[in-house]
Amino acid sequence: MTGAPADMENPLHRLTDEQIDEIGKEFQAIHDEVYEDLGERDAVYIRSIIQFHRRLAALSRVVLMASRYKPAWVLGTAGLSTAKIIENMEIGHNVMHGQWDWMNDPYIHSSTWDWDTASPASAWKHSHNYVHHTFTNVVGKDHDVGYEIMRVDPSQKWYPHYLLQPFYNVLLMAFFEWGVAVHDLDFEAIRTGKKPKSQVKDELKEIGRKARRQIVKDYIAFPALSGPKGWKATLAANFTANIVRNVWSNAIIFCGHFPDQAYTFTEEEGADDRPGAWYVRQLIGAANIDGGPFFHFMSGNLSFQVEHHLYPDLPSSRYQEIAPRVKDICERYGLPYNTGPFRRQWGSVQRTLVRLAFPGGKPRKKAPPYEAPAPAVEGNGGAPDGNGRATTERVLASFP
Ligand SMILES: [Zn+2]
């Protein structure tokens, strides 16, 4: 690593207008090529994942009917936690992005899918698909920068309540789905009167409806199936599975935008609407996490947050294949490609949350321009970049 200065300027400012145009065209060409190629292999993938999730969730619920016996509790809770993670991350988030809309399947479609979490689908689609994915990391516009309650970037003004952020951060991890559900309301718009009261009322009603459904399902109906002797243990199992899913999704999502090397932008920078500028902001405002096929799958492929932000409408199962082409663009234009092991990404996020609870704080060192590793020596199984397709097939092959 070359020692880039801490205040290294945004790479966007180093690029010429021609380069920004070219970059826009190159990124768009990758999108169009992959989109053209979508077909049976992708449809089989999502259908088998949905089927696998159903079986795992149903089986775990059945095992939990005997939850008053410890081994059944442990097995059922582990299965249900895994099922909830898969449902939220590889299925829910991605289906609701419209990644599978091209199949024209009325069921696996962004307009009809609802997920097993507290956020109503319609509110989440607005705050996530539109606000967050359009104004990614633009401080003051993207409400996911600190979720309106955290200071995650030194350019955010400090207020005394941030002193408590290391504590409520732990609460947010555990109850992340509820944090996301109320965050969709957009407190800033309510406070400034931008959002009409009638709309707030409607949205609150919708959250109430969804919350009731979730609570009845996990804390009344399924526990009841375990009978008078087992309902308490099943309720505890469902509560635990929700917490496990919340902590995991919070970790993956925070690693996607708040590690040290991810850039944030001013509103002025965010207003540059040239396609190339938008692509570069998506590229440098997101961060990936290194890992194997199982890790990528359990993160809903949001370990490829960079590729997800460049191509939110392309199926998540394609991100790993696209990654080498993104790196190639980075190398040719001297742009960073942000990635690192989970420990490092998550650790830097937590350090930032503690440091920025206090006033001040400087931007951390950013990633240098991407450089491809030296070519793999023949016979070592190939460079990690070359096996994207094989990896997807390996994941696929491990499911019924
Ligand atoms: Zn997304």
Q: Picking from 27-31, 122-126, 157-161, which range would have the lowest pLDDT averaged per residue?
A: 122-126
Q: Which amino acid is at 324?
A: P
Q: Return the higher-pLDDT residue of 234 and 6.
A: 234
Structure tokens at 84: 């909830």
If you measure from the C-alpha of residue 97 to the centroid of ligand 1, how many angstroms do you get, rounded to a whole number?
A: 7
Mean pLDDT of 182-207: 84
3: confidence class by pLDDT, cuts 50, 70, 90: very low
If you measure from the C-alpha of residue 212 to the centroid of ligand 1, how many angstroms do you get, rounded to a whole number?
A: 25
The per-residue pLDDT of the chain, averaged, comes to 88
pLDDT at 377: 63
Q: Picking from 181-195, 237-251, 382-396, which range would have the lowest pLDDT averaged per residue?
A: 382-396
pLDDT, one tens digit per residue, over 61-90 is 999 999 999 999 999 999 999 999 999 999
If you measure from the C-alpha of residue 290 to the centroid of ligand 1, how many angstroms do you get, rounded to a whole number?
A: 18
Structure tokens at 262: 């991810």
The CA distance from 29 to 19, in Å, is 15
pLDDT at 393: 57
The domain segmentation of the chain, as residue ranges, is 11-397
391: confidence class by pLDDT, cuts 50, 70, 90: very low
If you measure from the C-alpha of residue 86 to the centroid of ligand 1, how many angstroms do you get, rounded to a whole number?
A: 15
Name the β-bridge partners of 138: 265
**pLDDT at residue 366 greater than cutoff 70:** yes
pTM of the model: 0.87
If you measure from the C-alpha of residue 115 to the centroid of ligand 1, how many angstroms do you get, rounded to a whole number?
A: 14
pLDDT, one tens digit per residue, over 268-284 is 888 888 999 999 999 99
If you measure from the C-alpha of residue 114 to the centroid of ligand 1, how many angstroms do you get, rounded to a whole number?
A: 15
If you measure from the C-alpha of residue 128 to the centroid of ligand 1, how many angstroms do you get, rounded to a whole number?
A: 6
pLDDT, one tens digit per residue, over 289-342 is 999 999 999 999 999 999 999 999 999 999 999 999 999 999 999 999 999 999
**pLDDT at residue 256 greater than cutoff 80:** yes
**pLDDT at residue 193 greater than cutoff 60:** yes
If you measure from the C-alpha of residue 94 to the centroid of ligand 1, how many angstroms do you get, rounded to a whole number?
A: 7
Sign for the pseudo-dihedral over CA of 209, 214, 216, 219: negative
Q: Picking from 47-56, 121-130, 208-217, 273-282, which range would have the lowest pLDDT averaged per residue?
A: 121-130
**pLDDT at residue 380 greater than cutoff 90:** no
If you measure from the C-alpha of residue 121 to the centroid of ligand 1, how many angstroms do you get, rounded to a whole number?
A: 13
The CA distance from 61 to 44, in Å, is 26
**pLDDT at residue 262 greater than cutoff 90:** no
pLDDT at 155: 85
If you measure from the C-alpha of residue 313 to the centroid of ligand 1, how many angstroms do you get, rounded to a whole number?
A: 9
**pLDDT at residue 358 greater than cutoff 60:** yes
Q: Return the higher-pLDDT residue of 123 and 298.
A: 298
389: confidence class by pLDDT, cuts 50, 70, 90: very low
pLDDT, one tens digit per residue, over 196-222 is 888 888 889 999 999 999 999 999 999
Q: Do the beta carbons of residue 262 and residue 137 sit within 8 Å?
A: yes
**pLDDT at residue 146 greater than cutoff 80:** no
If you measure from the C-alpha of residue 237 to the centroid of ligand 1, how many angstroms do you get, rounded to a whole number?
A: 29
**pLDDT at residue 386 greater than cutoff 80:** no
**pLDDT at residue 382 greater than cutoff 60:** no
Q: What is the 3-state secondary structure (H, E, C) of the chain?
A: CCCCCCCCCCHHHHCCHHHHHHHHHHHHHHHHHHHHHCCHHHHHHHHHHHHHHHHHHHHHHHHHCCCCCHHHHHHHHHHHHHHHHHHHHHHHHHHHCCCCHHHCCCCCCCCCCCCCCCCCHHHHHHHHHHHHHHCCCECCCCCCCHHHCCCCCCCCCCCHHHHHHHHHHHHHHHCHHHHHHHHCCCHHHHHCCCCCHHHHHHHHHHHHHHHHHHHHHHHHHHHHHCHHHHHHHHHHHHHHHHHHHHHHHHHHHHHHHCCCCCCCECHHHHCCCCHHHHHHHHHHHCCCCCCCHHHHHHCCCHHHHHHHHHCCCCCHHHHHHHHHHHHHHHHHHCCCCCCCCHHHHHHHHHHHHHHCCCCCCCCCCCCCCCCCCCCCCCCCCCCHHHHHHHHHHHHHHCCC
If you measure from the C-alpha of residue 255 to the centroid of ligand 1, how many angstroms do you get, rounded to a whole number?
A: 13
Mean pLDDT of 346-373: 89
Q: Which amino acid is at 296?
A: H
pLDDT at 77: 98
**pLDDT at residue 4 greater than cutoff 50:** no
Mean pLDDT of 138-167: 87
Structure tokens at 370: 């991407």
Name the β-bridge partners of 265: 138
If you measure from the C-alpha of residue 360 to the centroid of ligand 1, how many angstroms do you get, rounded to a whole number?
A: 30
If you measure from the C-alpha of residue 99 to the centroid of ligand 1, how many angstroms do you get, rounded to a whole number?
A: 10
If you measure from the C-alpha of residue 311 to the centroid of ligand 1, how many angstroms do you get, rounded to a whole number?
A: 10
If you measure from the C-alpha of residue 167 to the centroid of ligand 1, how many angstroms do you get, rounded to a whole number?
A: 26
If you measure from the C-alpha of residue 256 to the centroid of ligand 1, how many angstroms do you get, rounded to a whole number?
A: 10
pLDDT, one tens digit per residue, over 89-119 is 999 999 999 999 999 999 999 999 999 988 8
Distance of CA 127 to the CA centre of its chain: 13
Orientation angle between helical segments 17-37 and 275-285, nearest 10 degrees: 80
